[in-house]
Amino acid sequence: MTDPIDQAELDQLVAIKTGLQPSSAQLLKGVLASHGMPAYVSSEHMGTIGFGLGSDLLVRRADVPRAKSLLEHVAAMPITGAAPVREAVMMERACSQCGSSHVQDYIGSVPTLLPFVKIEALPDSGWYRCRQCGSHFRERPTRFQSLPTGFIWALVVAGIVVGFMMLINWLRWL
Protein backbone atom coordinates (compact mmCIF):
# COMPACT_ATOMS: atom_id res chain seq x y z
CA MET A 1 0.00 0.00 0.00
CA THR A 2 1.32 3.46 -0.81
CA ASP A 3 1.84 6.19 1.74
CA PRO A 4 -0.83 8.88 1.87
CA ILE A 5 0.22 12.03 0.00
CA ASP A 6 0.00 15.32 1.85
CA GLN A 7 -2.52 17.82 0.40
CA ALA A 8 0.14 20.58 0.45
CA GLU A 9 2.34 18.41 -1.78
CA LEU A 10 -0.55 17.86 -4.19
CA ASP A 11 -1.23 21.58 -4.45
CA GLN A 12 2.40 22.59 -5.06
CA LEU A 13 2.69 24.16 -8.50
CA VAL A 14 5.26 22.88 -11.00
CA ALA A 15 6.28 24.51 -14.29
CA ILE A 16 5.74 22.08 -17.16
CA LYS A 17 6.47 24.56 -19.98
CA THR A 18 8.81 27.53 -19.57
CA GLY A 19 9.82 30.55 -21.65
CA LEU A 20 6.55 30.73 -23.61
CA GLN A 21 4.96 33.71 -25.25
CA PRO A 22 1.96 34.81 -23.13
CA SER A 23 -0.49 33.95 -25.92
CA SER A 24 0.97 30.44 -26.27
CA ALA A 25 0.83 29.95 -22.51
CA GLN A 26 -2.84 30.97 -22.49
CA LEU A 27 -3.54 28.58 -25.36
CA LEU A 28 -1.97 25.67 -23.47
CA LYS A 29 -3.82 26.69 -20.31
CA GLY A 30 -7.06 26.51 -22.30
CA VAL A 31 -6.19 23.02 -23.57
CA LEU A 32 -5.68 21.83 -20.00
CA ALA A 33 -8.81 23.61 -18.76
CA SER A 34 -10.88 21.92 -21.48
CA HIS A 35 -9.80 18.59 -19.96
CA GLY A 36 -10.83 19.73 -16.45
CA MET A 37 -7.31 20.41 -15.20
CA PRO A 38 -6.55 23.71 -13.45
CA ALA A 39 -3.48 25.47 -14.86
CA TYR A 40 -1.86 28.84 -14.18
CA VAL A 41 0.34 31.18 -16.20
CA SER A 42 3.16 33.04 -14.45
CA SER A 43 4.61 36.38 -15.60
CA GLU A 44 1.97 36.73 -18.30
CA HIS A 45 1.65 40.49 -17.88
CA MET A 46 5.41 41.09 -17.86
CA GLY A 47 5.71 39.08 -21.05
CA THR A 48 3.12 41.24 -22.81
CA ILE A 49 5.06 44.43 -22.01
CA GLY A 50 7.80 43.20 -24.31
CA PHE A 51 10.76 42.79 -22.01
CA GLY A 52 11.51 39.38 -23.48
CA LEU A 53 10.40 37.60 -20.33
CA GLY A 54 8.79 34.28 -21.02
CA SER A 55 5.69 33.00 -19.29
CA ASP A 56 5.60 29.65 -17.52
CA LEU A 57 2.71 27.19 -17.53
CA LEU A 58 2.13 25.82 -14.03
CA VAL A 59 0.07 22.83 -12.87
CA ARG A 60 -0.28 20.98 -9.58
CA ARG A 61 2.44 18.43 -8.92
CA ALA A 62 -0.13 15.62 -8.94
CA ASP A 63 -1.32 16.64 -12.42
CA VAL A 64 2.13 16.78 -14.08
CA PRO A 65 2.08 13.35 -15.81
CA ARG A 66 -1.45 13.85 -17.15
CA ALA A 67 -0.71 17.44 -18.27
CA LYS A 68 2.46 16.40 -20.07
CA SER A 69 0.62 13.63 -21.89
CA LEU A 70 -2.15 16.04 -22.92
CA LEU A 71 0.32 18.67 -24.18
CA GLU A 72 2.66 16.18 -25.83
CA HIS A 73 1.36 16.92 -29.34
CA VAL A 74 0.51 20.60 -28.86
CA ALA A 75 3.18 22.97 -30.20
CA ALA A 76 3.92 26.29 -28.54
CA MET A 77 6.57 28.77 -29.66
CA PRO A 78 9.23 29.78 -27.12
CA ILE A 79 9.63 33.51 -26.53
CA THR A 80 12.80 33.79 -28.63
CA GLY A 81 11.89 31.37 -31.39
CA ALA A 82 15.48 30.17 -31.18
CA ALA A 83 16.87 26.73 -31.76
CA PRO A 84 16.24 24.23 -28.99
CA VAL A 85 18.53 24.25 -25.99
CA ARG A 86 19.59 21.42 -23.76
CA GLU A 87 17.29 21.31 -20.77
CA ALA A 88 20.04 19.79 -18.65
CA VAL A 89 21.05 22.10 -15.86
CA MET A 90 20.72 25.83 -15.33
CA MET A 91 24.26 27.18 -15.24
CA GLU A 92 25.63 29.45 -12.51
CA ARG A 93 26.72 32.10 -14.98
CA ALA A 94 25.56 35.62 -15.67
CA CYS A 95 24.45 36.83 -19.08
CA SER A 96 26.89 39.28 -20.64
CA GLN A 97 23.99 41.39 -22.00
CA CYS A 98 21.38 41.62 -19.22
CA GLY A 99 23.15 40.10 -16.20
CA SER A 100 20.50 37.43 -15.67
CA SER A 101 21.48 34.14 -14.06
CA HIS A 102 19.02 32.19 -16.26
CA VAL A 103 21.72 30.86 -18.61
CA GLN A 104 21.87 27.44 -20.26
CA ASP A 105 24.20 25.48 -22.50
CA TYR A 106 23.27 26.07 -26.12
CA ILE A 107 23.30 23.76 -29.14
CA GLY A 108 22.24 25.08 -32.54
CA SER A 109 22.87 27.97 -34.91
CA VAL A 110 24.25 31.17 -33.43
CA PRO A 111 23.52 34.34 -35.42
CA THR A 112 26.43 36.60 -36.36
CA LEU A 113 26.73 40.21 -37.52
CA LEU A 114 26.94 39.07 -41.14
CA PRO A 115 23.63 38.28 -42.84
CA PHE A 116 23.09 34.61 -43.66
CA VAL A 117 26.24 33.59 -41.74
CA LYS A 118 25.71 31.47 -38.64
CA ILE A 119 28.03 29.58 -36.33
CA GLU A 120 27.15 26.05 -35.30
CA ALA A 121 27.27 25.63 -31.52
CA LEU A 122 28.16 22.02 -30.83
CA PRO A 123 27.82 20.21 -27.49
CA ASP A 124 30.48 21.28 -24.98
CA SER A 125 31.71 24.08 -27.26
CA GLY A 126 31.23 26.75 -24.61
CA TRP A 127 28.16 28.50 -26.08
CA TYR A 128 25.39 29.68 -23.77
CA ARG A 129 21.96 31.28 -24.23
CA CYS A 130 20.23 33.59 -21.80
CA ARG A 131 16.64 32.52 -21.27
CA GLN A 132 15.64 36.02 -20.23
CA CYS A 133 16.94 38.19 -23.10
CA GLY A 134 17.66 35.46 -25.68
CA SER A 135 21.27 36.52 -26.33
CA HIS A 136 24.03 34.03 -27.17
CA PHE A 137 27.52 34.30 -25.77
CA ARG A 138 30.66 32.28 -25.36
CA GLU A 139 32.42 32.23 -22.02
CA ARG A 140 35.68 30.85 -23.39
CA PRO A 141 36.55 32.84 -26.49
CA THR A 142 39.05 31.12 -28.73
CA ARG A 143 42.20 32.80 -29.99
CA PHE A 144 40.98 32.86 -33.58
CA GLN A 145 37.34 33.64 -32.90
CA SER A 146 37.29 36.78 -35.05
CA LEU A 147 39.46 35.34 -37.85
CA PRO A 148 36.59 33.94 -39.99
CA THR A 149 34.62 37.17 -39.65
CA GLY A 150 37.66 39.25 -40.61
CA PHE A 151 38.37 37.00 -43.58
CA ILE A 152 34.79 37.29 -44.84
CA TRP A 153 34.86 41.08 -44.52
CA ALA A 154 38.20 41.17 -46.39
CA LEU A 155 36.66 39.16 -49.24
CA VAL A 156 33.64 41.47 -49.37
CA VAL A 157 35.80 44.62 -49.49
CA ALA A 158 38.11 43.06 -52.09
CA GLY A 159 35.09 42.17 -54.23
CA ILE A 160 33.78 45.73 -54.02
CA VAL A 161 37.20 47.18 -54.97
CA VAL A 162 37.58 44.81 -57.93
CA GLY A 163 34.03 45.65 -59.03
CA PHE A 164 34.78 49.38 -58.98
CA MET A 165 38.03 48.83 -60.90
CA MET A 166 36.16 46.88 -63.57
CA LEU A 167 33.50 49.59 -63.77
CA ILE A 168 36.14 52.33 -64.17
CA ASN A 169 37.92 50.36 -66.91
CA TRP A 170 34.65 49.74 -68.71
CA LEU A 171 33.71 53.45 -68.52
CA ARG A 172 37.16 54.40 -69.85
CA TRP A 173 36.61 52.39 -73.01
CA LEU A 174 33.25 53.97 -73.79
The pairing of beta strand 127-130 with beta strand 103-105? antiparallel
Q: What is the pTM of this model?
A: 0.41
Q: Average pLDDT for residues 95-103, to the nearest whole number? A: 74
CA distance 48 to 87: 25
| 169 pLDDT more than 60 | yes
Q: What is the pLDDT of residues 107-142, one digit of tens each?
A: 888 877 777 778 787 777 778 888 777 777 777 655
So what's the pLDDT on residue 4?
Answer: 53
Of 172 and 91, the structure prediction assigns the larger pLDDT to 172
Choosing among 2.40.50.140, 3.30.70.1530, 2.40.170.20, 3.30.450.20, the CATH entry for 7-70 is 3.30.70.1530
pLDDT of residue 72 exceeding 70, the answer is: yes
135-165: pLDDT as tens digits = 777 776 555 566 677 788 889 999 999 999 9
SS3 169: helix
Distance of CA 162 to CAs 149, 155, 156, 174, Å?
Answer: 20, 10, 10, 19
Q: How far apart are CA 54 and CA 121, in angstroms?
A: 23
Cβ distance 13 to 61 under 8 Å? yes
Burial 15-28 (b: 16+ CB within 10 A, else e): ebbbbbbbebbbeb
